[in-house]
């Protein structure tokens, strides 16, 4: 999987992603501390609103941003988004009201809604070989999982020697280093739009990525895939603390172990996936992943009935299964997009996928919270059922590989 890192340009781009993700993880912790400083007992409401603004920015602004910057050089777009994030993050430690936090967070997430799809669209141009592109997708998945697992640890270590608000300086440094690395990277120019697309009005450009996803059979399946992943993932991410505390009487350490199990399953599959995809088609891998995360979430309902250490170990193993299925289902999507649409359309489609996948999370996050209040086992079963229905739709929409005719070498 490390062969792709021999490419200097990709290595710089991937390092920029890792540094940027580290900064994002520090910002999450720092925002929690800032919310408490400004709002006290209402900090949870403030932080919940901040996360809602993040999701709304991702859903609403990613396609718009792609339409705005579609003629700009990719490197300039990536560097510009990082510079905006640096400026915004440096402003957060000096805010004096919750309203100012909301305004700056909205700008920050708008910049991220530009940066992430632009990065996703650049990678297949930089790494044209499909085998190495698969390795790049797995490395990106590893980076995202490690950010989730290690950023809180890094933040805790920094808080031993720094005031909480200075974590924003670490975030700004991460974005600044990312911008510097991208600025030094030779990014291939994107394909020019086809003559029939060059004169599209702005509204049509905003809708173009979503329209292409709906019209392309394999990408229609991706829309259902996103809902399946978000259903099972929302239960794990929203309810892991409640599972640790209410079902097993544990504390923060127990909750952290459940989250670590989720991440460990995802990390393991991300490492193995490049070899698996050399032997198996994306359809089989994705559907296997959806089956794993659906069954894992449903089994949690029964696992919660097993008390004590044995029950905790069982539920931890099921969380790992959900994480493994999540990685198997989601990581190959970049390959499917890169193969299914013209290079000129890839930025719009990556932006649409980014937006629509987050729209699924915007639905399943609060649903998981509401269902959890009715019982953790019931929540797991309902969300697993939703994941199963979406997985069945994915299977129905995803075209089967064309059979190889007799006498034709495969």
pLDDT at 296: 96
pLDDT in tens, 96-137: 888 898 899 889 888 888 888 888 888 888 887 778 888 888
Tell me if the domain spanning 1-184 has CATH number 1.20.1250.20.
yes
1-184 and 201-399 agree in CATH topology = yes
pLDDT in tens, 321-362: 999 999 999 989 888 888 888 877 888 888 888 888 888 988
Residue 362: how many CB atoms within 10 A of its CB? Answer: 17
pLDDT at 251: 73
Distance CA(106)–CA(110), nearest Å, equals: 6
For the chain, give the percent of residues with pLDDT over 90.
24
pTM for the whole structure = 0.80
| Confidence category of residue 185, pLDDT binned at 50, 70, 90 | confident
pLDDT in tens, 133-163: 888 888 888 888 777 767 766 776 777 777 7
Q: Are 322 and 297 in contact (CB under 8 A)?
A: yes
pLDDT at 41: 67
Distance CA(275)–CA(253), nearest Å, equals: 34
Average pLDDT, the chain: 83
Average the pLDDT over 295-299 and give the result: 95
Helices (H), 216-251: 217-242
pLDDT at 192: 47
pLDDT higher at 403 or 170: 170
Domain ranges of the chain: 1-184, 201-399
Average the pLDDT over 317-322 and give the result: 95
Helices (H), 69-129: 74-91, 98-126
pLDDT higher at 74 or 385: 385
pLDDT higher at 306 or 295: 295
pLDDT higher at 25 or 15: 15
pLDDT at 83: 95
Residue 78: how many CB atoms within 10 A of its CB? Answer: 26
Q: Any idea which residue has 């639905």 for tokens?
A: 363
Distance CA(294)–CA(233), nearest Å, equals: 10
Residue 115: how many CB atoms within 10 A of its CB? Answer: 25
| Confidence category of residue 297, pLDDT binned at 50, 70, 90 | very high
- For domain 201-399, the CATH class is mainly alpha
Residue 1 has pLDDT above 70, yes or no: no
pLDDT at 402: 46
- What count of residues does the chain have? 410
pLDDT at 378: 92
pLDDT at 406: 36
| Confidence category of residue 228, pLDDT binned at 50, 70, 90 | very high
Q: Which of 212-221, 319-328, 395-404 has the lowest mean pLDDT?
A: 395-404
């Amino acid at each position: 999987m490390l062969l792709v890192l021999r490419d200097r340009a990709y290595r710089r781009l991937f390092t920029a992603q890792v540094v940027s993700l580290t900064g994002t993880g520090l910002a999450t912790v720092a925002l929690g501390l800032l919310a408490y400083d400004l709002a006290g007992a209402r900090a949870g409401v403030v932080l919940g609103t901040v996360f809602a603004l993040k999701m709304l920015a991702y859903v609403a602004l990613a396609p718009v941003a792609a339409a705005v910057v579609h003629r700009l050089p990719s490197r300039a777009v990536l560097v510009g988004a990082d510079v905006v994030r640096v400026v915004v993050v440096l402003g957060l430690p000096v805010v004096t009201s919750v309203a100012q936090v909301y305004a700056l967070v909205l700008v920050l997430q708008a910049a991220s809604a530009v940066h992430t799809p632009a990065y996703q669209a650049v990678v297949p141009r930089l790494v044209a070989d499909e085998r190495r592109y698969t390795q790049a997708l797995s490395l990106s998945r590893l980076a995202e999982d490690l950010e989730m697992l290690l950023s809180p640890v890094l933040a805790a270590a920094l808080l031993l020697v720094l005031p909480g608000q200075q974590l924003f300086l670490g975030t700004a440094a991460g974005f600044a280093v990312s911008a510097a690395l991208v600025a030094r990277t030779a990014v291939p120019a994107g394909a020019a739009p086809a003559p029939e697309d060059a004169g599209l009005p702005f509204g049509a450009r905003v809708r173009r990525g979503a329209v292409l996803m709906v019209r392309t059979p394999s990408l229609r399946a991706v829309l259902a895939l996103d809902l399946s992943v978000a259903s099972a993932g929302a239960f794990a991410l929203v309810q892991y603390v409640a599972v640790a505390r209410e079902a097993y009487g544990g504390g923060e350490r127990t909750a952290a172990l459940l989250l670590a199990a989720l991440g460990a399953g995802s990390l393991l599959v991300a490492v193995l996936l490049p070899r698996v995809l050399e032997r198996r088609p994306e359809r089989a891998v994705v559907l296997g992943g959806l089956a794993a995360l659906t069954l894992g979430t449903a089994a949690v309902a029964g696992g919660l009935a097993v008390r004590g250490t044995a029950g905790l170990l069982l539920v931890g193993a099921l969380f790992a299964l959900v994480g493994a299925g999540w990685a198997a289902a989601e990581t190959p999507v970049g390959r499917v997009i890169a193969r299914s649409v013209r290079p000129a359309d890839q930025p719009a489609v990556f932006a649409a996928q980014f937006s629509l996948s987050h729209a699924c999370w915007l639905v399943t996050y609060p649903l998981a919270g509401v269902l959890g209040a009715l019982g953790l086992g019931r929540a797991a079963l309902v969300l697993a059922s939703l994941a199963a229905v979406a997985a069945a739709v994915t299977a129905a929409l995803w075209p089967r590989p064309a059979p190889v005719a007799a006498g034709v070498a495969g």
